[in-house]
Amino acid sequence: MNKKKWILLSVLILIAIILLPLCISLLLALITALLLEGLVQRMQKHMKFGRGLAVFSAFTGYVALLGIIGYFTVKVVFDQFVSFAKSLPQIIEDIYSNIIQPTLTKWEQVQETIPNGVVQSLEESFTNGMKSFEEGVNGFLNSLLDFIAFLPGFMFEVLIYLIALYLFSLELPRLKKMIANSLTEKTKEKLTLILDELNKAGIGFVKAQIFLSALTFVMAFAGLSILGVPYTAVLSLLIVIVDILPILGTGSFLVPWAIYAFFQNDQALSLGLVILFLVITVVRRVIEPKIFSSSMGITPLAALISLFIGFKLLGFIGLFAGPACVIVFETLRKARVIRTDFKI
């Protein structure tokens, strides 16, 4: 590659980096279209669908799946919020009568026997604690208002994403042909290898996620059945749906439920939910590297390291981004775009 091509490539990469935050919806739409392309081609081959009908069918199924997940997620969050709001006065009363009032009574009894310096220090600590609690409540309310203000823009981004996904799916063969005509045979071979590997990894990721979701459902169903919770199947399904979303996770469903059960004086249910959460979390973390490695073509050690580093850097999103980075690196290495056969 001569100097002019390197300069042009560098400029294009720089422009892509600058525009990436502004075009994230379009980029996600293109990636999703590539992942759905295998399903579209199978419909064309085995069901004799035309391109338009195959794209429409795959797109409709995908949107329906997103709609079901979104509906149940919003329903769970809304129902939990309404239930918590209704029971909040009783919870506050229970906290006051069972914790605060006995503590104040005990404090009045022992206050006279404690040195004044210690009393003053404890009172300052209590005041600081109440101030921190007030700041936490205000921060939560501000975050809630920010989230409400964020929703209209988010819905617009989702709409753009879905429209772009449908159009990308329709035009994908033409886009591939247009790109292929502008590439040399050597570059075309490398690009084909990269796309094939990424497609296999994407399908492998979906298979791994389905297996992990099924395992989570079985563990949740068994645990809730042992605890004697009604509507076990529905609640287990809701736990799986919440668990699929990386920002939430199983803990966002089970932990608040356990706290609520504790303040309702149902310590057995509270402890059982905490244990169930720990079991699901530990089992998933133990088997995730093996499942991802076998499904997506990376070694168990690479999967474990990518999951750990991704989680440390990006939180739950890193559990997806970490293995994805390893897959992209391995794909580029196999295509010899990135060379690692050097010696120091």
For 157-215, what is each residue's pLDDT tens digit?
889 989 999 999 999 888 888 877 877 777 777 777 777 777 777 777 777 878 888 89
The rounded mean pLDDT for the chain is 78
101 alpha carbon, distance to own chain's centre: 41
- Give percent of the chain with pLDDT exceeding 90: 11
- Quick one: pLDDT band at residue 275, thresholds 50, 70, 90? very high
- Quick one: pLDDT band at residue 236, thresholds 50, 70, 90? confident
Q: Using alpha carbons, list the distances in angstroms from residue 79 to 43, 253, 268, 312.
A: 39, 12, 23, 31
- Quick one: pLDDT band at residue 281, thresholds 50, 70, 90? confident
What residues contact residue 35 under an 8 Å CB cut-off, 6+ apart? 199, 202, 203, 206
Mean pLDDT of 48-66: 90
Domain spans in the chain, listed from the N-terminal domain onward: 23-115+122-182, 185-338
- Quick one: pLDDT band at residue 300, thresholds 50, 70, 90? low
